[in-house]
Amino acid sequence: MQPREKLRQTLENVQGTALVAFLTAGYPKPETFLDLLREISATADVVELGVPFTDPMADGVTIQRSSQSALRQGVTLKWIFDQLESCNFELTSPMLLMSYMNPLLAFGLESLVSRMRNTGVSGLIVPDLPYEESDILKSELNAQGLALVQMVTPATPKPRLKKLCLASDGFVYAVTRAGITGGGSNLPEDLAQYLQGVKSLAKLPVCAGFGVRDAAQVKLIGKHADGVIIGSALVEVLEKGKSVGQFLSALRPE
């Protein structure tokens, strides 16, 4: 089975609301990366690995801090692949990379796709890659059965929303609010209408994220989406030295 199909099927087969958990690779310490990855994979349905970058324009201050810390400690895209290659356990959840385009271009697209396939990475989320400029990367990923997940927002016009939903692989990433990750604790009042609109156009599972922090929000979003993406709140748990496994388990509606 192609990795992008496995990603889609994993989300479709979850009983209830799927959890997609974001981890900045190499944070808080590079030496704990694989242990954290295993812990998160055991609880979340999909793992999203953030590639540290100097100018993460879509990320709020929490993820920016974690990214800067990882960079200072020498974490690079090559380091991430090397760590995944040395992994001596099998991850129970599909894994994605979330990266800005610059690190991917610097690595080389052919080498990128080869190492993704060889290390069990199912696909990419690239916040600063416009759909109109994605053909070269998408063709490389398609050749290996890997996913390029498209992001949509409440401000996306309906014709473009339809185009992005049809172009996405694995799932559609529905940003719940305009702006950056983290943000305030309140979700938009028209969230249900927005997510239902995305669902009506998508032929894949829809996972919603940006600003999700607690079980009540997961339950609310889960009424209108197939999955919920947890990012800044999980990084904050790491900052406080608490258990990410316990935090993720507590997010699942009873």
The token pair at 190 is 């028209």
CA 30 distance to own-chain centroid: 20
Residues β-bridged to residue 40: none
133 assigned to active site = no
Q: Catalytic residue, from 48, 90, 110, 236: name it.
A: 48
Q: Catalytic residue, from 39, 45, 55, 59: name it.
A: 59
Helix (H) or strand (E) holding 49: strand 46-50
Helix (H) or strand (E) holding 139: helix 135-143
Given a contact cutoff of 8 angstroms between Cβ atoms, the answer to whether 148 and 168 are in contact is yes
55: three-class secondary structure by DSSP: coil
- B/e letters for 58-86, b = 16+ CB within 10 Å, e = fewer, are bbbebbbbbbbbbbeeebbbebbbebbee
CA 226 distance to own-chain centroid: 14
Q: How many helices (H) and strands (E) does the chain have?
A: 12, 9
Q: Which amino acid is at 234?
A: L
5 assigned to active site = no
Active-site residue list: 48, 59
